Structures are given as structure tokens and as C-alpha cells.
Amino acid sequence: MESSKVYNILRINGEEKREEEDLVVIEYPFTIFIDEKEILTLLCSPKSLKGLTLGFLYSEGFIKSKSDVKSIDIDENLGTGHVELNKRQYFLEDFQGKRTITSGCGKGTIFYNVIDSLKTERIKEALKIDMENIKDSMRDFNKRSDLFLKTGGVHSCGLYKDSEIIIFEEDIGRHNALDKILGIALEKDIELKDKTILTSGRISSEILLKIAKRGISTVVSRSAPTSLAVDMARELNINLIGFVRGEKLNIYNGSFPSL
């Protein structure tokens, strides 16, 4: 299975606008079952899935050696990995009560559900993309990331109205930085329909869904989106703009080509 996919996007460079093909990295949902029990779904690149399954089983403590595994059956088309174990290191039921930790970066939205995307409403009226606002906000955004400059270890996220900053947050996790913004906006009753989210990190399906759930119509990154994020943005009518660097930016979804 391919690890990237071609999308038609609008590439902007200063005054120049061209509809072009662009390679976007595939975000592939892969569900692991152990002895017929569904364990979790990883969002990953669709390569080396057997290695991923084995590595996951070991890292998470399901197995202590290769010989604990009876069989692994990968179905690339269904996106499933069925594992049979000879010996379980502990009962699957034990996991649920444990203190669970999710990644600083991914945060892992362990309750996140594919069905969420179906429950999420399509944006009725998206903001009109304003190139100058986007470039100005990104310039402002880049200047603010103080902790990154000091440590090189964080993601930042900003809520903008036009090119004016409303909230700025940093976190070791890109999901956390966004949740902080969204939580503060909730606390302060900030209207979100006319606002734009800027992020330093990649736009994956989870980032896109968090934004969509709050009715925000525009998300801007200096980095790349994944295929699933582009698909969802198109489905949910969200402006998705990536690789904003100086005078350059890519519009993955928005009202192009008639922009």
C-alpha cells in the first residue's frame, strides 16, 4: 500500500496561484485485535504492519518474547491485525482500571471514535480565506514561540481573529496546545465561528476533528496535513491551509479554484 497520495491543491506564492498536484502522507487507521478482542486503533503509515503489531505488543507489555505469539494475521484492505497469543502476560481486562498515560505529543485521545467524525456537523458557512491575514498571523505566530526557541521541544497553537492574536499556548503536545486554547475559549465564552486556529504542528485527523467540533472553519499550519485530515476538511467544509512560510502557502481545502 502506498504511503502517500496525490491531491489537487492550490499553491500560492506571493501573487501567483496555481492549482497543482501535491503528495500528502497517508494516515491509515489500523485496528489490533488480540484473541478476537479489539484492543485499539492506531493511526499510522500503512507499511510494516506486522512489525508495528509485534512492536506494539511488546512495548505495551502484552508479550515478553516472540514465542508468546501464536499468529498474526494482517489484512491491509480491512486495516486489521488479528493476533493470537500462546500466553498472555496479563489479562486484557486489567488494562482498563490502570492509570493510563497518553503521549505528550499525541495525547492519544483514547476515547476518540471514528463515529465522532460522522456526528460532527459540516460547517455551514466557512470564513472566506484571506491570504494577507493568514500570512500576517503566521508571522506574528512565529515570533511568539518563546519556549520553542529556548528548548526546541514544544508545539504552539494560536487563536486569531483576522491577524490579531486572541489566545496563544505552548505545550510538548500539539493536541494539548490546541485543547488549552479551546478550553480557555470555552471558559471565557469566546465566540469561535469568526476565528482561525494556527498550529506549529502537523494537521492530523484528530486535530481537525477537535476544531470541527467547535465550529471553527479555518485551520492553518506551517507544517503538513495528513490524507485523513484533508479528506475530513473537504467533508466538513473546513479551510485547511498548510506549509505557510513567508509568501508561500498551500490550500488543501477552501473555495478554490474560483478563489
Determine the distance from the C-alpha atom of residue 110 to the mean position of all C-alpha atoms in its chain, rounded to a whole number: 14
CB atoms within 10 A of CB 18: 10
- Residue number with CB closer to a copy of itself (32 or 129): 32
CB 167 within 8 A of CB 141: no
Of 135 and 155, which has the nearer Cβ to a copy of itself?
155
- Output the smallest distance, CB 128 to a copy of itself, in A: 26
Report the C-alpha gap between 170 and 158 in whole angstroms.
9
Distance of CA 42 to the CA centre of its chain: 12
Q: Smallest gap, in angstroms, from Cβ of residue 113 to a copy of itself?
A: 5
Least separation, in Å, of the C-beta of 162 and a copy of itself? Answer: 23
Q: For a copy of itself, which is the closer residue by CB, 169 or 231?
A: 169
Residue 248: name the closest of 73, 75, 20 by CA.
20
- DSSP string of 148-206? HHHHS--EEEEEEETTEEEEEEEESSHHHHHHHHHHHHHHTT---TT-EEEESS-B-HH
Pick 133 or 226: Cβ nearer a copy of itself: 226
Q: Report, in Å, the least distance between residue 174 CB and a copy of itself.
A: 7
- Catalytic residue numbers? 105
